[in-house]
């Protein structure tokens, strides 16, 4: 797979006690589409049975036929959008996972990544477990099946006490919906209310779409159980640790209209740009962004620097996942089909280009050259995060370390490679200050300081959690 930037991980959505549960879950997944575009699925409960519909593809395509919802009856449902982080991009890995076992039927939707998945998988297989997918999520199902306790809540606790890593989980049985967030709180998860229904979503923007009220965030290490009487029960059954929410959610992943970790993403991104302008000012005529995630930071940079902000790069929002490149070579075709410069805004100008990150550097190099070809006299690249030098093992799809340009090149070397006149990254201290959280955040992709130790060497790609061949051919 050709990485030009980190890919979104996954998104989960669930609703309990609403007559249009599946329809509203579809809308919730639509709002979370930015967190995963490979596949999606919904499992509903009618009180007697679980019903599933899941496929490869975008939400609008998979659930575009209204007849689908007749196959998803019931007043409770959970859904999932996926971009694979562990396991291949194939039909069998589409979530939620739904199984029938000795204690009944259960479905699970998972956002995150288990760092001890390979060890647990080998142990379970040694005792006779047969895996149907290459996802780490299936390990949770097997741990539930072999748990020695009786109640579902106790079995979930027993299973999750054996796993290490990042997880936001939604469990659905014929009568209950249970949400769990890992003790470190790597990924966001929030709780909402729609009439008498409870709603759980990866981001608050999904609540907005269905006009649900944001109640609060589900706290790190918390289990929320939706009860039959219309209430919820909150438990904290895991050993308490210092929370380490992923700071890159603010930089790139979350939608700007969401509230995560107690903060509005859009306002934080503007502050990242202001801080970047304070740290790396430059004499210039115009500030532009690499759409779309770089736009709020570019606006903040322009305001702080007193330089006009313009939409100098226009994004084609209707580009599919694949396209046929013409036989006649077009320079920078892959970028040009997605972005096009407004030459009248750039010609003869000293331009500051704001982006959220540089991964391999190939895209940044093409963008800089594109801006120059549009007539810019100078191109200064500014990045609203520190250099990404280490892979993520907590649910974000990043290349291994040797493919990250900042892991083996200085800022000056990266600047020369992308052919910019200057390059400035936001400092780690500036990032934390702009976000406004304590130092207890996960910055492992910048620092290499992983809050939870990974049992394999850190320079291994997280995709190698499962060693099957199809996990290597994504």
User: Helix count (H) and strand count (E) of the chain?
Assistant: 15, 21
- Give the start-to-end residue ranges of the domains of the chain: 10-244, 263-316+332-448
Distances (CA, A) of 164 to 261, 432, 455: 21, 25, 10
Query: Regarding the domain with residue range 10-244, which homologous superfamily does it belong to in the CATH classification?
Result: Aminohydrolase, N-terminal nucleophile (Ntn) domain (3.60.20.10)
pLDDT-derived band at 4, boundaries 50, 70, 90: very low
pLDDT in tens, 178-196: 999 999 999 999 999 999 9
Given a contact cutoff of 8 angstroms between Cβ atoms, the answer to whether 160 and 220 are in contact is no
Instruction: Please return the burial class of 176, using the count of CB atoms within 10 Å of its CB with bins 0-12, 13-18 and 19+.
Output: middle
Given a contact cutoff of 8 angstroms between Cβ atoms, the answer to whether 330 and 337 are in contact is no
Give the three-state DSSP class for 113.
strand
Asked if the model's pLDDT at residue 467 lies above 80, the reply is no
Whole-angstrom distance, CA of residue 314 vs CA of residue 337: 10
Asked if the model's pLDDT at residue 259 lies above 80, the reply is yes
Pairwise pLDDT comparison (132 vs 425), residue with the higher score:
425
293 is in an annotated binding site: yes
Name the pTM for this structure: 0.89
pLDDT in tens, 275-302: 999 999 999 999 999 998 899 999 999 9
For 91, which DSSP code? Answer: G
246 is in an annotated binding site: yes
Whole-angstrom distance, CA of residue 94 vs CA of residue 109: 10
Catalytic residue of the set 10, 168, 190, 205: 10
Asked if the model's pLDDT at residue 267 lies above 80, the reply is yes
Pairwise pLDDT comparison (103 vs 1), residue with the higher score:
103
pLDDT-derived band at 88, boundaries 50, 70, 90: low
DSSP letter string, 423-442: EEEPPHHHHHHHHT--S-SB
> What residues form DSSP beta bridges with 288?
353
| Residue 40: active-site member | no
| H-state helical runs in 90-223 | 117-126, 137-146, 152-160, 205-209
Average pLDDT over residues 98-110: 92
Give the three-state DSSP class for 124.
helix
Whole-angstrom distance, CA of residue 175 vs CA of residue 37: 30
Asked if the model's pLDDT at residue 461 lies above 50, the reply is no
pLDDT in tens, 305-352: 999 999 999 998 776 544 445 555 565 666 777 899 999 999 999 999
pLDDT in tens, 348-406: 999 999 999 999 999 999 999 999 999 999 999 999 999 999 988 887 766 678 889 99
pLDDT-derived band at 468, boundaries 50, 70, 90: very low
Count of all residues that appear for the chain in the document: 474
Asked if the model's pLDDT at residue 35 lies above 60, the reply is yes
Asked if the model's pLDDT at residue 226 lies above 50, the reply is yes
168 is in an annotated binding site: no
190 is in an annotated binding site: no
Per-residue model confidence (pLDDT) at position 99: 92
For 242, which DSSP code? Answer: -
415 is in an annotated binding site: no
Given a contact cutoff of 8 angstroms between Cβ atoms, the answer to whether 446 and 396 are in contact is no
Given a contact cutoff of 8 angstroms between Cβ atoms, the answer to whether 54 and 135 are in contact is no
Architecture of domain 263-316+332-448: 3-Layer(aba) Sandwich (3.40)
Q: What angle do CA 241, 443, 5 make, to 5 degrees?
A: 135
Given a contact cutoff of 8 angstroms between Cβ atoms, the answer to whether 287 and 305 are in contact is yes
pLDDT in tens, 410-430: 999 999 999 999 999 999 999
Give the three-state DSSP class for 168.
strand
């Amino acid at each position: 797979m050709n990485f030009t930037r980190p890919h979104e991980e996954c998104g989960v959505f669930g609703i309990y006690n609403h007559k249009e549960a599946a329809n509203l879950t579809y809308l919730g997944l639509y709002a979370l589409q930015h967190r995963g575009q490979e596949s999606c699925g919904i499992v509903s409960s009618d009180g007697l049975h679980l019903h599933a519909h899941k496929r490869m593809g975008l939400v609008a395509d998979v659930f575009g036929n209204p007849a689908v919802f007749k196959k998803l009856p019931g007043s409770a449902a959970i859904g999932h959008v996926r971009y694979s982080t562990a396991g291949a991009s194939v039909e069998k890995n589409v979530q939620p996972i739904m199984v029938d076992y000795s204690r009944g039927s259960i479905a699970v939707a998972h956002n995150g990544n288990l760092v001890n998945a390979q060890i647990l998988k080998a142990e379970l297989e040694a005792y006779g477990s047969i895996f149907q997918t290459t996802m780490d999520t299936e390990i949770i199902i097997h741990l539930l099946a072999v748990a020695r306790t009786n109640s579902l809540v106790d079995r979930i606790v027993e299973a999750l006490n054996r796993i290490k890593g990042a997880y936001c989980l939604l469990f659905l049985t014929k009568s209950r919906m249970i949400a769990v967030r890992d003790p470190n709180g790597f990924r966001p998860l929030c709780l909402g209310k729609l009439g008498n229904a409870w709603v759980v979503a990866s981001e608050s923007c999904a609540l907005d779409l269905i006009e649900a009220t944001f109640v609060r965030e589900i706290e790190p290490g918390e289990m929320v159980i939706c009860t039959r009487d219309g209430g919820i029960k909150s438990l904290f059954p895991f050993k308490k640790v210092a929370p380490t929410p992923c700071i890159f959610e603010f930089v790139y992943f979350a939608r700007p209209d969401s509230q995560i970790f107690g903060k509005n993403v859009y306002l934080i991104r503007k502050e990242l740009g202001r801080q970047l302008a304070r740290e790396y000012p430059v004499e210039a005529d115009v500030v532009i962004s690499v759409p779309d995630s770089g736009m709020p930071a570019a606006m903040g940079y322009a305001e702080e620097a007193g330089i006009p902000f313009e939409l100098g790069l226009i994004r084609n929002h209707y580009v599919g996942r694949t396209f046929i490149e013409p036989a006649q070579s077009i320079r920078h075709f892959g970028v040009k089909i997605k972005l096009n410069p407004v030459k009248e805004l750039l010609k003869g100008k000293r331009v500051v280009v704001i982006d959220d990150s540089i991964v391999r550097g190939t895209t940044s190099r093409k963008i800089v050259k594109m801006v120059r070809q549009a007539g810019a006299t100078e191109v200064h690249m500014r990045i609203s995060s520190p250099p990404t030098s280490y892979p993520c093992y907590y649910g974000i799809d990043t290349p291994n370390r040797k493919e990250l340009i900042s892991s083996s090149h200085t800022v000056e070397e990266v600047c020369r490679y992308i052919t910019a006149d200057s390059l400035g990254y936001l400092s780690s201290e500036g990032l934390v200050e702009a976000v406004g959280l304590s130092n207890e955040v996960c910055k492992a992709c910048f620092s290499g300081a992983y809050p939870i130790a990974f049992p394999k060497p850190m320079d291994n790609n997280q995709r190698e959690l499962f060693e099957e061949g199809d996990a290597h051919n994504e």
